[in-house]
């Protein structure tokens, strides 16, 4: 007779193991005929139904309501990081959780043991930067003793990897992911705001020497930063057993998300196939987050993490524990459960498993789409422009804004429960209609920034990027401010725009500084070119030409600084509008006759105001960067000829310096 133990909170995994052991022992004593009960007999028997339902080897507590079994746990060892990557963290860092509120090494092992007992087979240690935690090797060693754990992986920025990896390998680490977003040392320093490129490369080579095959290299691809290095990264896999994983730029609060920065998987793949048309697709596991490819005869391979364009929620098998002990069942989800608090309050293992199981059972079918990514442009919105009736309470042809809005956007947009409707913080339906129209138009141009002015009756302005098409709309609204009129995009003629003024436009009647209202101006293509010259002197000029400056490649860093400066102009010049630029180009050349660096900057946009200030700011920041990188050699540096060279577009006409 088989004695079935009472099911406890520790899960059906342990129950099933006991049942199977007893079943095996009993079956050995039974005649063969008794070993083959029919399905009907099993279903009719209470014991048989239990076996059919609970004999699965995986814990029900780690299986969600959609049948996804979570056998992969990511544990953050620390919030600290020794880099300040621009897409991840502000330069000044973030406010850290007090040490007393972080998980201790023993608490990490206790929770890990619990998850492994319930079926977790792979644990990845993350951060922050996990290798700056002093006891990381000891933690790995203790994890390696957990029976049933097959893989201990670590994700690192690589700065400390070459020094620690031999000990980590001995302790039990059998998979390594290294973050590296560029193969250009100067660009690396610009992106991460720290030195260390050569340490990362040393860590990659150390990993290959120690037999890690493949060594995974994570590269976040960002338009305007490193999308031009895709082919270089693929070439990186030619002679090394690497898996370079191109990751779509992901939005998080605080990283100044702009979906124009995202380079999609398909765009990356097309670029690579133009160079290597023979690129082969590799098979992958069902739960894999990566789409893998290989250039024939290359040692390594490449992969794409399509977290934004093609999510992999349906096969997600991952859970996360933060450094302060919160369980996250979804990286994009906001809900967390503090395992630390329950652990420190004396909760038993059974109670902890129940808490974990409840959290897993609440996991949604797929993650919420991030703010601004969730403005999908439906084809029917192009074919059937909204009319005035649709500007009321129904809008069947408006795209549904399925946004999980960031904290900043929640103040500007509120999603209605009814599909296809969007409630905006303005009082009149016609204003809501106008803004919805502008959102739709702006989707075709790129990125929309909302600005609220509580003193204005028309308080939301949308600043646009370059166009790839236009949408006409019958519902338009004249701006409420006196002395100006709104120009409808679909009309053959626009209302008169104020002529160029002989007075200063950035001061009011009382002489106080004021920002120019450009709401009544027509949209047009704007372009501006500015230049600057930096005289270095013979010694510094020679070192720049031979790339011998200790701070790095002067021309490369100055070029990136100029591009970044153009994009930040409105934050540096108080009365400048925030303009979404469609293109920025910064070039630097050497003038041997003058021992000078000649800077040339071009900016473009489609909008209501020009980009002269953006071009001038780019030239100025590039020049200042050259000065900064050369001042250790000499202070006899002269920045001169910072000037606008030309501009096109706008009501004041074109300009070209003779």
Q: Catalytic site residues?
A: 628
Q: What are phi and psi of 618, to 5 degrees?
A: -60, -45
Helix/strand/coil percent split, the chain, to 5: 35, 20, 50
User: For residues 174 and 240, what is the distance between their CA atoms, to the nearest angstrom?
Assistant: 18
User: For residues 273 and 295, what is the distance between their CA atoms, to the nearest angstrom?
Assistant: 10
Secondary structure (DSSP) of 8-24:
-TT-HHHHHHHHHHHHH
| Separation in Å, CA 221 to CA 181, 264, 311, 563 | 7, 9, 17, 17
| Separation in Å, CA 437 to CA 333, 366, 395, 406 | 30, 29, 11, 22
SS3 of 280, please?
A: strand
Rounded (5°) CA angle 56-57-61: 85
| Separation in Å, CA 25 to CA 3, 19, 41, 96 | 12, 10, 21, 55
User: For residues 234 and 246, what is the distance between their CA atoms, to the nearest angstrom?
Assistant: 10
What's the CA dihedral at 178, 183, 186, 190 to 10 degrees?
Answer: -50
> Tokens 């620690």 map to which residue?
164
Contact between residue 311 and residue 368 where contact means Cβ atoms under 8 Å apart: no
Rounded (5°) CA angle 534-540-544: 80
| Separation in Å, CA 125 to CA 109, 307, 337, 455, 587 | 12, 20, 19, 50, 42
Contacts of 498 (CB under 8 A, 6+ apart): 483, 484, 520, 651
Of 608, 437, 599, nearest to 521 by C-alpha is 608
Burial bucket for residue 494 (CB in 10 Å: 0-12, 13-18, 19+):
middle
User: For residues 116 and 59, what is the distance between their CA atoms, to the nearest angstrom?
Assistant: 10
User: For residues 386 and 267, what is the distance between their CA atoms, to the nearest angstrom?
Assistant: 31
**Long-range contacts for 437-443 (Cβ within 8 Å, ≥24 apart)?**
437/386, 437/471, 437/473, 437/475, 437/476, 438/462, 439/375, 439/401, 440/377, 440/381, 440/386, 440/398, 440/399, 440/471, 440/473, 441/470, 441/471, 441/473, 441/489, 443/375, 443/377, 443/399
């Amino acid at each position: 007779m088989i004695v079935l133990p009472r099911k406890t909170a520790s899960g059906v995994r342990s129950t099933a193991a006991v049942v199977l052991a007893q079943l095996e022992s009993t079956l050995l004593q039974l005649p063969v005929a008794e070993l083959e009960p029919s399905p009907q007999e099993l279903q009719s028997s209470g014991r048989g139904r239990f076996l059919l339902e609970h004999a699965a080897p995986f814990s029900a507590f780690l299986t969600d309501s959609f049948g996804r079994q979570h056998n992969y746990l990511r544990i953050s060892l620390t919030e600290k990081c020794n880099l300040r990557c621009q897409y991840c963290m502000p330069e000044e860092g973030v406010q850290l959780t007090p040490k007393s509120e972080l998980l201790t090494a023993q608490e990490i092992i206790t929770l890990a043991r619990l998850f492994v007992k319930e079926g977790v087979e792979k644990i990845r240690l993350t951060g922050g930067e996990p290798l700056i935690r002093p006891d990381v090797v000891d933690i790995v060693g203790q994890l390696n003793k957990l029976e049933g754990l097959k893989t201990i992986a670590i994700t690192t920025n690589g700065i400390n990897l070459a020094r620690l990896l031999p000990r980590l390998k001995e302790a039990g680490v059998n998979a390594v992911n290294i973050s590296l977003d560029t193969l250009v040392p100067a660009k690396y320093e610009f992106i991460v705001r720290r030195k260390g490129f050569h340490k990362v490369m040393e860590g990659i080579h150390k990993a290959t020497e120690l037999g890690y095959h493949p060594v995974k290299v994570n590269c976040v691809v960002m338009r305007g930063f490193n999308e031009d290095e895709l082919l270089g990264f693929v070439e990186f896999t030619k002679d090394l057993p690497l898996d370079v994983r191109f990751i779509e730029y992901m939005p998080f609060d605080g990283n100044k998300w702009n979906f124009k920065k995202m380079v999609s998987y398909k765009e990356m793949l097309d670029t690579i196939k133009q160079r290597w048309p023979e690129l082969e697709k590799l098979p992958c596991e069902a739960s894999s987050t990566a789409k893998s490819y290989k250039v024939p005869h290359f040692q390594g391979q490449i992969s794409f993490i399509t977290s934004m364009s093609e999510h992999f929620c349906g096969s997600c098998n991952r859970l996360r524990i933060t450094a302060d002990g919160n369980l996250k069942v979804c990286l994009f989800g906001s809900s967390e459960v503090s395992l630390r608090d329950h652990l420190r309050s004396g909760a038993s293992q059974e109670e902890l498993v129940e808490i974990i199981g409840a959290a897993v059972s609440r996991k949604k079918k797929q993650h919420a789409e991030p703010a601004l990514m969730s403005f999908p442009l439906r084809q029917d919105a192009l074919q059937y422009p909204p009319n005035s009736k649709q500007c009321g309470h129904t809008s069947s042809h408006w795209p549904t804004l399925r946004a999980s809005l960031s904290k900043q956007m929640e103040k500007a947009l509120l999603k209605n429960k009814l599909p296809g409707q969007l409630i905006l913080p303005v009082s009149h339906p016609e204003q809501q209609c106008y803004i919805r129209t502008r959102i739709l138009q702006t989707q075709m141009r790129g990125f929309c920034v909302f600005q609220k002015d509580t003193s204005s009756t028309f308080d939301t302005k949308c600043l646009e990027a370059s166009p790839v098409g236009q949408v006409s709309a019958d519902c338009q609204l004249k701006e409420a401010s006196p002395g100006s009129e709104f120009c409808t995009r679909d009309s053959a003629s626009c209302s008169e725009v104020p002529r160029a003024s002989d007075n200063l436009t950035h001061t009011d009647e009382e002489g106080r500084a004021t920002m120019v209202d450009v709401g009544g101006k027509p949209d047009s293509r704007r372009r501006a070119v500015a230049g600057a010259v930096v005289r270095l002197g013979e010694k510094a000029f020679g070192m720049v030409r031979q790339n011998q400056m200790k701070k790095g490649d002067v021309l490369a860093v100055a070029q990136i600084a100029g591009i970044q400066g153009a994009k930040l102009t409105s934050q540096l010049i108080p009365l400048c509008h925030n303009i979404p630029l469609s293109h920025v180009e910064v070039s630097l050349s050497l003038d041997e006759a003058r021992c000078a660096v000649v800077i040339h900057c071009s900016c473009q946009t489609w909008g209501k105001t020009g980009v002269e200030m953006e071009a001038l700011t780019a030239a100025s920041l590039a020049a200042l960067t050259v000065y900064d990188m050369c001042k250790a050699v000499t202070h006899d540096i002269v920045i001169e000829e910072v000037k606008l060279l030309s501009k096109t577009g706008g009501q004041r006409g074109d300009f070209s310096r003779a």
